[in-house]
Amino acid sequence: MKKKLLLAIIATTLAFTGTAANAKDWTRVKVGIEGAFPPWNMIDSAGKLSGFDVDLIQDLCTRAKVECELITGEWTSLIPSLNAGKFDLVMTLGINEKRKQVVDFTVPYASGVASFLTVKDGTVAALPMTGERLNLNDHAKADPVMTEIGKELKGKSVGVVGSTSQEQLIQSYFGNTVTVRTYKSSPERDLDLKAGRIDAGFDSGVYATSMLAKPGNEDLQMSGPLVKGAMLATEVALGTRKGETDLREKFDAAIKAAAEAGVIKTLSEKWSKLDLTPTFSGN
């Protein structure tokens, strides 16, 4: 009996020691960010990272009591780099079921919509419900609208950023009737839209609002509904590697505190003119 008790104590001690050895104190965190998706994140005229994400992550890291290093990378490389250990967190990651298979998410730090972009007096006529919010999960209301949009887009080309939920939506709803063109970044797609090489774009409504306010984009417009739901990743969060619960919980708490303090509202309105403050379950 004493021998069994001693072995049990040793096993428990080894298990605890192993857990402690594998635990991380998270005093320093590497954060992956695209740096090419204004107003969320961008490289400014001085060559520095700026935008809503940049301002917010500084606040969140202070609240989480960690030192954060921002590292830029191409959008399509961010999740693979996270899982390869190059980053500990990834910013501007919309939550959807496909991504949940490969990463874990914090609570959302922003809640947005998606929108079509077209050229004024271009090849795409005005789409229905322009400027109105539409939840694609409300099928009775949304399905007829998306059918009408599909009729207008039939035979045309739509530009999206690759490996995004916007690409997934266009492929899912219209992939058999439109030509889907993918791009590395939204500004790259916009150049083709303005040049007439594609007929429409589909992107974050926050990005579109910011882009249209800048000189040189007067010929472009948002058209059709401001959509969310279905596979769209309009609830934006930080991504972590699977199983790193302690890091995720640190930033869950920081995000909720920043929202309660009004920081998310202030920063999102500064950069996008929209209040992107998320609503948390139970609130």
Domain ranges of the chain: 26-111+235-272, 114-228
Describe the crossing of helices 263-272 and 245-260 by its angle, rounded to 10 degrees: 80
**SS3 state of residue 159:** strand
The model's pTM is 0.74
Are the CB atoms for 164 and 185 separated by under 8 Å?
no
Provide the mean pLDDT of the chain.
91
Read off the pLDDT of residues 81-123 as tens digits, 9 standing for 90 and up. 999 999 999 999 999 888 999 999 999 999 989 999 999 999 9
User: Rounded distance, CA 96 to CA 103, Å?
Assistant: 10
26-29: Cβ within 8 A, 24+ apart: 26/64, 26/66, 26/88, 26/246, 26/247, 26/250, 27/66, 27/67, 28/66, 28/67, 28/68, 28/69, 29/61, 29/66, 29/67, 29/68, 29/69, 29/88, 29/89, 29/247
pLDDT value of position 2: 45
- Supply the pLDDT for residue 9: 41
Domains 26-111+235-272 and 114-228 share a fold: yes
Which residues, in sequence order, are bridge partners of residue 227? 114, 134
Q: Which CATH architecture has domain 114-228?
A: 3-Layer(aba) Sandwich (3.40)
- 10 Å CB burial of residue 82 (0-12, 13-18, 19+) is buried
SS3 183: strand
Q: Which CATH superfamily is domain 26-111+235-272 in?
A: Periplasmic binding protein-like II (3.40.190.10)
Range 186-209 average pLDDT:
96
